[in-house]
Each structure stands twice: as C-alpha cells, then as structure tokens.
Structure 1
Amino acid sequence: MTLNSHAPLYVLDAQPVFNGQTVFDGHNDLLLRLWLHEADDPVAQFLDHKLDGHLDLTRMRRGGFAGGLFAVFIPPASYMPKLKPNAELAPHDPLAITQQQIALLQRIETQSGGRTKLCRTVAEIENCIAQGVLAMVLHIEGAEAIDVSLGNLDSLYQAGLRSIGPLWNLPNQFGVGVTGDFPGSPDSGDGLTLAGLSLLRACNRKKILIDLSHMNEKAFWQTARFSDAPLVATHSNAHALCAQPRNLTDRQLAAIAESDGFVGVNFGNAFLRADGKRDADTPLERIVQHIDYLIEKVGEDRVGLGSDFDGISVPEALGDVTGLPLLLQAMKQAGYNNALIEKLACRNWLKVLKQTWGE
C-alpha cells in the first residue's frame, strides 16, 4: 500500500500495533547492514520494503517502531574479508567508515519524502511520533573514529551525534570493552584510558548520552564515578538470568538505579537464555522475564527496549520488527497494564533522553 507520511503509525497496515502503542528502541545495526551492501542502493531498498534482515521502513511502521538510536559501527579490519568477501577493500579508516554510515542515515532522511527525520532533541522525537514520522537518533558504537584530542567530536555533534558507546568488544584509544565467553564476568580487563575519561567529560559538557552496554566492569565504575549524567545501558540484560559478560550484574543495576538511569533490554537470544545459546526457539516470555527482573532492580521508570535488531539473532517467535506487537502482548499477558507498557515501549526512553540532553 502507499504510505501516508503524516498518518499515525497504528493505522498504516492491516496488522495494527498493540493497542496503538508505539515503540522507541535503544539500539539497531541497520546502518552497518546498509553500508555493507551499499553497491545495491540499500537506502532505496530500506524505503521500498526490499531488505532482508530485521528492519525496513514498511515493516518498522507495521510493528509500531516509532524511532530509536541508529548505531554507526566500525567492523574491525580483520572482519572485513568475511563481511565484504567480493569487495576491493580500501585501507581501514574508522573515520571514513563512520562518515559513510552517517551519510546513509542522512540519505534515508532526504530520500524518504518526509517519512523519516534525523532528530537532535526530545521535542523533535515527540513531534515525529505524533506525526507518524520515523525518529532517528545518531549513535556511535565504538568510538574509534574520534581522535584522542577530541578534535572531531564537534563536527560529529553537528552532524547529529547524540549518543556514544566509547567501547565495543575490542580495545581502542579510549579503553577496553567487555569480552569473554559464557558464562563469564564483566570484569574482563582494564577500563577507560585517560583519553576515555576525557571523552566522558566532553560528552557531559555537550550533553551526549554515554552508553555503558559494551563497557567492562572497570570502565563501568569509572563512568559511574566521573560522569554526571544518568547511567544508561542501551542494549543489555540481567547477568543474574543470563551470565553473559556483557549483561549487567545486580551491583551495576543498583548504580544505574541510584543515578536515575536506564536499561534497554536486548532481544538477542544469547543475552536472554540461561544457557547462553543463540538458539532461536527462545520464547518471548524470556524477554519479559528480563524486563521483570530489571523492573525489580531499577524500577519501572528506568527500563525499556534496546532490541539490537540487525545485529543479533532474535527469538523466532519475534522474527523481525513486525513482531513487536507480539512482545507487547506478552507483556500484557504477564500482567502489565497499558500505562506500564507505554512506559516500557517508549516513554521511559524519552524521559532519560530528556534528563541527559536537556529540554
């Protein structure tokens, strides 16, 4: 069907979203997926419902996906021959890759005919949700593209950057990310470098959200000590239920609660299951169990969704973004009322973004 760019999300398809609820999501890897297939005009495919994977604009609107944090991710140089096996690879340049992925996000906005917007404020996000426009927030996962002098942070901010995860799994100039096999501890090495601490302070000054999701335990506690913003893990789960090193311990969750921070629940099977396996037969109720646990530890105003769509394997029962209404229905069946579901699906994200970015 032809999409009306100003129609509410919940009437755009024969498969309505759950009770008219819209979802704001804390993490996806769409930009990496588009960048890896740039020769095939992936922006047009995203806009025209021709992508594989978890996300394209038509399916996002069907599922009630109102907006979220869109991650720029620089694959390690050693990954590139496998990710782009038939490409003539240029020298590995993290800043160039970052700029190319940001350009893809900008192209989505300009080519969408008003159906999408790159948002820099909570007011812009709220206006997009009200008008049925996809609200896109620029996030960087692993800050390899930022020089240690932070000289290019201003230009990235001007391009729309509002959220940074300084680390991914591998070490960079800002510190060491969380690594290790299942089951394992998040205490997996050295934390932030002096440059990493400088990046924290710069993000605080510019009111850029700092993402904890790939920080090891030392980096987490350095951030808790030196950052003056709410502690936010955009796509992490409860270590007590799934002992992946990247999931959050009860002690970390207590610090997040104390800071009035936030946790976005990751849909990845390996981060949900008690056995740590990537098996797709994971029931949706397993996501709800993590939500229950996180609510118990940090409170119902500090939990939301951080799907990791297009970056991981998700439960078969969810499938892709069009399965979000099924997840919300599972919350309803678990006893959540509509007001709580609205908080978890969207409002809690807007709350913590407002606390971090300001009005």
Structure 2
Amino acid sequence: MSKNLYDVVVIGAGASGLMLAYKAAQRGRKVLVVEKANKVGKKILMSGGGKCNFTNLYVEPENFISHNPHFVISALSRYTNWDFIGMVCDYGIAYEERKHGQLFTLNGAKEILSMLLAECDKTGLVDIKTSCEVKAVNTVEGQGFQVATSLGYFEAESVVIASGGLSIPTLGGSAIGYDIAKQFGHHIYPTRAGLVPFTFSDSFKDITTRLSGNAVEATLSNNLNSFTEALLFTHRGLSGPSSLQLSNYWDVGQSFKIDFLPSVDLEAFFKSKKQSQPKVLLRTLLTEHMPKSVVTELQNLIWPDSADTAIGNISDEKLEKIAQRLAGFEVKPSGTEGYRTAEVTLGGVDTAEVSSKTMESKKQKGLFFIGEILDVTGHLGGFNFQWAWASAHAASEYV
C-alpha cells in the first residue's frame, strides 16, 4: 500500500477526530489524521479551565440545540456517557463530579488527550500529521477522494470532517469544514458564537465594569430558556455559567431578564422583615444574600430614593415593585465576545442531509461529518464532548 494511500482521512485532530481515528483503526482501517495546528487536541487541553469537563452524568437529547432535535438520539444511545466514563476508569484517570453532573479530571485535561493518543498508538494503524493544512478535497474516479494538503496529496476511500467550528481561532478553529460541505452541495445553517460572555455598550457596562470579579447565583431567562447558575460580572459585561448557557438562546437585539435572588421569595421576605426588623435598611437585608458592592449598584438602579429609608417606612406597594425588579431585571446586551472566547459554534452542516446512524453525507458517498461541524450544540457541562465521542463512534463503524 502506498504511503499516501489510506482507508480514511480525518480532517481535524480534536476530540471527535482522535476518537474516530482509533475506533476506525480498531476495525482494521488505516487512518490518517491531518491537523492544521502545530499540536493535536488544543481545545481538549484548554477545556474546563484545563481540567476537561469530558462528559456529564445526565445526558439527554434536550441538552442539545439543533434545527433537527431528533438527530442526536441515535448516536447518543449507541455510545453513552457511561461508555466513555468506563474508558476513563480503565485508564485510571481520577475525576470528580461537580454541580449538575459535570465530570472533570482531577489531574488535568492532558490525561484525556494522552488516553486518546494511546488508543491510536495501540492500533498501529493511525498516522497523525500536524501543521498540515488542507487545501482541497476532491473525488477521484472509481471510488474515494484525494486530499490536497500543505504536506502533499493523500488518497482515501472515506473522508471525515472533524474540523470543529469557528470558535477560538487561536486554537485552530476555521471554516474549512463548512467550505468542504458546501463544495459537496450541503446546506449550512448560519453560524454564530455559542457559550460566550455577553457585552454591553449602554450604562449597564459601567456597572459591570465596577463590579468586575463579583459573582452571584442568579437566574437568566428569556422566552426560550432559563438557567440558574453563577453569574459573573466582567469589565466587558456578563459571564459565568448562566450567561454562557443563555447565550445559546440569544441573538443580537434581544433582551433577557435576571433574577438576582432566585432562591428567595422577595415579596414575602421583605414583608416579614418589615414586621420583625422595621428599622433595618433594605441594602443591609440584601447583603445577607449578595456581595455588598452588588447590592449598592442595584440600590442605585432600583430604589435610590429609599436608599436610607428603614424598611418599616417603605410602603408595601413600593416593596413589591422593588422585589419585582430584583426578580426580573431586564438587560439588553449589545453583543457577545464572539468567536474569540466562544466555547462552541452554533449552526453548521444541516443534519437533514446527514445520516443520524452513520454520520455519512446523503449527498456524497464516503464523506462523513462528526462533532461541532454539524448543526448540533450542547449545553455547557460536558455535553459537547459527549457529542464528539458519540458522533465519532457512530461514524467509526462505517468509514
């Protein structure tokens, strides 16, 4: 067999690409993985603050966003979170459960990457080339493809697009996968940054700047979804898990609401305190639940005229209005931080044109799409990794 002849060429050496490579090689397929960046798995290494939130204990189709929501069911049911957790355990990788079933490594993301590379090595059938940029993918007469790269030409029966999306271009994010999909007649849903912090250009930006570094447990909601998690104030706007989650359901020009104390029935709380502690100031009561600096900013926005009035001297009607504002504070971001800091790319290859069983293109035999390139985006919490593992496993049985 020519050294430039393979059964499978995988474009992208991230989570889904490496997973597919070793799974296909276990079936005896000779696999070449080409990666534009100078190292493999860069996004794996930086994920979860370097600890890699590699899956979640509770994976459901509802944790994914797609124009075709049923598409994920087949792959997720055939390679589950427990399958991946089993491999992590086989390798003796220590991990911990955090909030909402999120699983993180204890000793760093490098262990997940090392595991995937070890599995590739074990087969003896996987070649990986870094600093290898794909220039063109063309079909060749008979069967298969020719892949032109900066390191030469390679031929293969199957080509797998595992190039990810546009998020974090410094780690290798690019549009190559979308370009190849379009070349073969695929429809691409418009892409935008997902799991990304919000930015502001109005007076609220001054507030977030002053509060930068402060965090509160809050509920962020719009008419599509609602998330109760940490909300972090930044120099540019709002971040933290609740913001990142809601960003997947938000578009420019839209506003959303913040409930600053979702665990407290504020109207009842204020009325009971009015009876039991009539001489106390509202801000004093609220600092039991939130940082003082956050309470001060909210006071200036919501009840400046009653800032120094004891709660016993504030009318019930006024207290109700203050409670309602604190539970439904409306903000309108000017945008997001964009692909520069986005964890994922929303949109992508239309899954109606891809087999949910095999991940193969319905338009071009031998062409497969896995991972983030598809119009499938997981919530924050390990779901995008689980989609990478599951979609790669599905395709690996057919490439």
Q: What TM-score comes out, normalization by structure 1 length?
A: 0.27
Larger Rg: 2
Q: Which has the higher strand share?
A: 2
Q: What TM-score comes out, normalization by structure 2 length?
A: 0.25
